[in-house]
Amino acid sequence: MAGSDTMPRRIYEDYAYSDAARAECIWPLPDQNWPALNADTRTDIAIIGGGYTGLSAALHLAQAGVGVTVLEANQPGWGSSGRNGGFCCIGGDMRGLGAIQKRYGDTATLAYFNAQRDAIDLVADLLAIHAIDADTHSDGEVQLAHHPKAMTQLATEKDHWAAFDIDARLIPADGLAARGLAGRFHGALHVPLGFALNPGKYVGGLAKAATRAGATIHARSPVTRIVRTPSGYTLITPQGRIIADRLILATNGYGTDGLPDWMTGRYLPLQSNILVTRTLTGDEIAAQGWSSDLMAYDSRNLLHYFRLLPDRRFLFGARGNIRASAPGQDAMRARLHRDLAALFPAWANIETPHFWSGLVSLSPDLLPYAGPIGDWENAWAGMNYHGNGVAMATWVGARLADMALGRQQALPVHTRPLPRFPLAGIRRSYLYPAVLGYRLMDGPPPT
């Protein structure tokens, strides 16, 4: 038998992995009570992680008639899958299609783009097939220029979309108000791909669909050790063990260095933060002039992302908080409130009773990963969606199921040996100069 040689270690303070970080989250957790693993058992395929990736993999495997068990440290959807902004759209990487095209060529880039479109369609299909009411809205997404010079970049992006037969539309600054997009912006690009949803309702529906299909889900069952055996894997939890022939790792930003050793340094968690207002009145919406239901984000490096929810609350999110602590959370809450007031001045004094944070995950090569866990046989991982995992994580979960079933071994662009961050043990420290540099490049919000 061979286990992990490295002591498991998480790179953030305990606060990041506590209930306190999501205490004010407005999205519902699943109302089903899945039991903890409290005995020794076996399964064909064990999945570590009960977010979009793990639940999608479990659903597709169960539908194929395979015995599959999900081990979730908390409860399904507790992590970023149940506390994100609800943007089901193109994404998953931090390179962009133009950079990917230069690096990998036209054929691979088209295949990757088609995978992203398929990912959006997969979520839509799952919502329809399993009758999941996830409060969907929005005809694609809109990127808003935070500076007049950013419109040049948006015009270039419009040309990139045209190469993929997507009719993206530039909106000049003087046309924003007529589209219900009034704020301190300098124009926009509307990309008609994707939709918004309630991530809590979606992940809860996905978990219930996987259960109905025959998957077994154990909540409150953190895996503390993985042992390789001649016939497969033994996963050890505080109250029980599970023996599996095959293994899928789906922890993303909530992964642990040393569990297994291969994980160390191959992901970099980053906190993303969301502020939500109280319900806005019709007069308050009219006063600001933001009445659109489009998913939106701005052109900053440390971008803001936002949307008007169906219940007329306004969701406003951003990244950039490195301290995983109650004081760090308070400081980021204050920063987000200032940014909200700067971009939407009519809402400067609107109450914001909800704020929470979660961990997204970055890859050393800025691409998502779906593929083998090093040289381990019959073991795969899916992760690193760069804060845009609603669609991509769901799709990767389905592809990991294909890999486990022997149906697929290669994916466009983003299946390759996954590199490690240099000096992996201190990689979190990279975020401090990066965040500072991005803030200097972005400049302050308008005043």
3-state secondary structure of 298: strand
- pLDDT tens digit sequence for 66-124: 999 999 999 999 999 999 999 999 999 998 888 888 888 999 899 999 999 999 999 99
Banded model confidence at residue 2, pLDDT cuts 50, 70, 90: low
| Residues 356-373: b if buried by 16+ CB within 10 A, e if exposed | bbbbbbbbbbebbbbbbb
Banded model confidence at residue 443, pLDDT cuts 50, 70, 90: confident
**Superfamily of segment(s) 14-84+200-268+365-422:** FAD/NAD(P)-binding domain (3.50.50.60)
User: Is pLDDT at 266 greater than 80 in this prediction?
Assistant: yes
Within 10 angstroms of residue 5's Cβ, the number of other Cβ atoms is 8
Region at 281 (left for phi over 0; alpha for psi -120 to 50; beta for the rest):
beta
User: Is pLDDT at 357 greater than 90 in this prediction?
Assistant: yes
Averaged pLDDT for residues 140-156: 96
> What pLDDT does 253 receive?
96
CA 107 to chain centre: 26
Instruction: State the number of CA atoms in the 13 A half-sphere of 381 facing the CB.
Output: 26
383 beta partners: 369
d(CA 268, CA 413) in angstroms, rounded, equals 20
Place of tokens 């407005």: 26
Q: Nearest-CA neighbor of 343 among 181, 184, 143, 188?
A: 184
> What pLDDT does 409 receive?
72
> What pLDDT does 364 receive?
93
Residue 327: asked if its preceding bond is cis (omega within 30°), the reply is no
Averaged pLDDT for residues 170-177: 98
3-state secondary structure of 246: strand
- pLDDT tens digit sequence for 202-257: 999 999 999 999 999 999 999 999 999 999 999 999 999 999 999 999 999 999 99
Q: Domain segments of the chain: what residues?
A: 14-84+200-268+365-422
3-state secondary structure of 271: strand
> What pLDDT does 411 receive?
76
Banded model confidence at residue 1, pLDDT cuts 50, 70, 90: low
- pLDDT tens digit sequence for 26-50: 999 998 999 999 999 999 999 999 9
